[in-house]
Amino acid sequence: MEVTLVITKSVEQNAETYFEKAKKAKRKIPGVKKTIEEQKQKLGVAQTKAEDAAAAKEKKIIRKKEWFEKFRWCYSSTGFLVVGGRDATTNEIMIKKHLDKNDRVFHAELPGSPFIVIKNPDHKEIDEETSMEAAIICASFSKSWKSGRTTAEVYWVTPEQVSKEAKSGEYLAKGSFMIYGKRTFITAKINLAVCNYQDRIMCGPVSAIAHHATRYLELVQGESKVSDTAKKIQKIIGGELDEIIRALPPDCTIKKEKK
């Protein structure tokens, strides 16, 4: 340790100067200790927040994906799971792999319609409200949405009426099936809404979404890019952007928010 002495002062005066400096430094010690403790607390809070964020991220990553999330899906107002194809490939998988005896199959009259299935593993009687909501999903995700139509004709059949066997001389492309027997027709309105349901993005008829979520967004046909609309939706209800994009119909915009 170096000590600087002022030659114009006596030894006693130099000692007094250092004594006063020591007293001032001693008086600052409690304040320094307090500052150190405050900084420790702030660091602890920041560390806790970081750990919580990491834990939340890890929890989000490891959330189990249900089989139906590969498809379009929605729960009806009365609790039936309604699932449908996104394209020719998922149409094919939906019908071949996930269609069971007591389910109900929907398809629109216009080309380019998805196959929509009401899942009925408990062999319940499928109510009219669920059938209408399944028809709305089918109509809204068909080409009727992009064409700007307000309604579309949809029919439903039983699983045994759906076949991959084409008539003689005909060929069925991927995602296409033959329908045999009587069809029950429904005139379905074009309408959709989206919500964050149990940490999953669910898109379906306004009536069904409103039943399961207090906060949701109604959608209408528009010229906005799906990605742009998805970003706006994410800011309001959260969720993963890719998941929102996958759930939406093409060229849609937000009509209004319901709280």
pLDDT digits (tens, 9 = 90+) for 151-205: 999 999 999 999 987 776 677 778 889 899 999 999 999 999 999 999 999 999 9
Provide the strand spans (E) within 175-224.
178-179, 184-189, 192-197, 200-204, 216-221
Q: Are residues 179 and 242 in the same domain?
A: no
Q: Are residues 173 and 199 in the same domain?
A: no
Angle at 70 between CA 67 and CA 74, to 5 degrees: 80
- On whether residue 235 sits in a domain, the answer given is yes
pLDDT, residue 79, reads 97
SS3 of residue 256 by DSSP:
strand
Overall average pLDDT of the 205-218 stretch: 97
- On whether residue 55 sits in a domain, the answer given is no
Overall average pLDDT of the 70-82 stretch: 98
Expressed in angstroms, the distance from the first to the final Cα of the chain is: 70
Residue identified by tokens 């989000």 is 60
Which position has the higher pLDDT, 178 or 132?
132
- On whether residue 43 sits in a domain, the answer given is no
Tell me how far apart the alpha carbons of residues 215 and 147 are, in angstroms, rounded to a whole number. 28
Mean pLDDT, rounded, of the chain? 88
**Confidence check: pLDDT of 1 > 70:** no
- On whether residue 40 sits in a domain, the answer given is no
Which position has the higher pLDDT, 74 or 50?
74
Q: Are residues 121 and 216 in the same domain?
A: no
Give, for 74, the enclosing helix (H) or strand (E). Answer: strand 72-75
From 162, 190, 218, the end of a domain falls on 190
From 160, 190, 220, the end of a domain falls on 190
Overall average pLDDT of the 48-62 stretch: 66
pLDDT, residue 28, reads 73
From 135, 164, 190, the end of a domain falls on 190
**Confidence check: pLDDT of 61 > 60:** no
Q: Are residues 143 and 253 in the same domain?
A: no
Q: Are residues 239 and 129 in the same domain?
A: no
pLDDT, residue 109, reads 83
* Residue 239 DSSP one-character state: -
pLDDT, residue 94, reads 94
Q: Are residues 226 and 202 in the same domain?
A: yes
pLDDT band at 118 (very low <50, low <70, confident <90, very high): very high
Q: Which of 7-21, 36-50, 188-202 has the lowest mean pLDDT?
A: 7-21
- Residue ranges making up the domain that contains 173: 67-190
Q: b/e per residue, 188-206, with b = 16+ CB within 10 A? A: bbbbbbbbbbeebbbbbbb
pLDDT band at 54 (very low <50, low <70, confident <90, very high): low
Which value, in Å, is the radius of gyration of the alpha carbons in the chain? 32
Q: Are residues 201 and 258 in the same domain?
A: yes
Smallest Cα–Cα separation from 243: which of 209, 212, 197, 188? 197
Residue identified by tokens 């002495």 is 5
- On whether residue 36 sits in a domain, the answer given is no
Q: Are residues 165 and 230 in the same domain?
A: no
- On whether residue 2 sits in a domain, the answer given is no
Q: Are residues 203 and 182 in the same domain?
A: no
Overall average pLDDT of the 34-41 stretch: 78
Which pLDDT tens digit goes with each residue over 100-117?
999 999 999 887 789 999
- On whether residue 259 sits in a domain, the answer given is yes
**Confidence check: pLDDT of 25 > 80:** no
| Most confident residue range from 1-15, 38-52, 61-75, 120-134 | 120-134
Q: Are residues 207 and 106 in the same domain?
A: no
- On whether residue 232 sits in a domain, the answer given is yes
- Number of structural domains the chain divides into: 2
Q: Are residues 162 and 135 in the same domain?
A: yes
pLDDT, residue 57, reads 64
Tell me how far apart the alpha carbons of residues 135 and 186 are, in angstroms, rounded to a whole number. 7
